[in-house]
Structure 1
């Protein structure tokens, strides 16, 4: 499919290379011609100099045939305006905008424009490495209400069925990390030594879940 990217910075240029390697056609827009130097020599996509919210520039980039539009410039306002033009004027359904301000990201998410709030994500990743114990947030939606969290469970849960942990914590286990590989468990899956448990839950429930998995399980596998 054809994808239009606004912003040829480090993220935009990397994304353009990844998409092209996957067999998609790409057009990348940037107001500075110098930015295109970040593209590799063999890049086959279109390079358009201009503003991503300019309709003529978008048409030149092939927005009318595009299946997706990505706004990853350095400006929140430019990204969201461009995303709205792509969706509302040209009818592109698959639109994503990078937003640095997490408060703005929440607003635009509610308007139906998917956003990637890089500041919040980066902060979460830093906290995971600074404070590795307890519950670590791996992903958080722009509103901050839903998180994918890594739970450091008590060794007492080894040998216990996942269903028992889910019942005790009143949550669902999204997946287990086992020996470096991800495993989607069933209720009968038994927790093994070294398993890292990941849950998807409301952020307000995370501390309660952490407390629950820190207690001795009531049911063990026979």
Structure 2
């Protein structure tokens, strides 16, 4: 729906019947952790990879293969046991827990430069958005991101748990930032965040 080329892997060909009519991507029958299958799907050129099977072990194995062997920039693994999330994220694998996450939230992990609007305030001049923290601001304090009249961090979600920021809250890899933003700032938000703390 966003204009990206998509390949879907499933061990059961009948699963592809659940794809929407007119799906224009590639479908491959096989196991998601099989490197031959992954390469047939085009993983060597992939910018993002999501493993969302019904098994935690298959998901994390294929996600690690995508991240560590094929160097795919954006990788997400679906998990059913949220207690494993912190372990996987230490390995550099972003995780989504089935109970708490939606397709749109998975897309935020895979396509971090997209800036989705979650809520519009009154006439739309102020919006609330949620984005994956860019690597450039990891280690910086949430308070450093705020700019009067333009943007403010209103919450930070870490391992699926939201919290209100304070002056000592440092941004970690994988954090989801919930921000109130002036609508006119949306177009340059990601680039502006990457410049936080740099000399002008």
- Relative to structure 1, is the Cα distance of residues 82 and 198 closer, same or farther in structure 2, using a 3 angstrom cutoff? same
User: Once the 2 structures are TM-superposed, how far is the Cα of residue 112 of structure 1 from its aligned partner?
Assistant: 1.0
Q: How big is each residue's C-alpha offset from its partner over 1:40-98, in whole Å with a ceiling of 9 and x where there is no partner?
A: 33222111011110011001111111111111111111111110011111121211111
Structure with higher Rg: it is: 1
Does residue 82 in structure 1 map to residue 62 in structure 2? Answer: yes
Q: How does 1:82-161 map to 2 (within 5 A)?
A: 82-121=62-101
CA RMSD of aligned residues (A): 3.3
Among candidates 155, 161, 183, match of residue 200 of structure 1: 155
Aligned residue-pair number: 128
Counterpart Cα distance in 2 of 1:204 and 1:26: 31
Q: Please report the TM-score for the alignment, with normalisation by the length of structure 1.
A: 0.49
The 4+ residue runs of structure 1 with deviation greater than 6 A are 202-205
Q: 1:200 to 1:73 in 2, by over 3 A?
A: same
Matches of 1:176 and 1:49 in 2, distance apart?
39
C-alpha contact (below 8 Å) 2:43/2:66 kept by paired residues: yes
Contact in 2 for aligned 1:176/1:198 (Cα 8 Å): no
TM-score, normalising length from structure 2? 0.54
Unaligned ranges ≥5, structure 2 = 103-117, 129-145, 167-200
**Secondary structure of the equivalent of 2:99?**
helix
Distance 1:178 1:34, change over 3 A: same
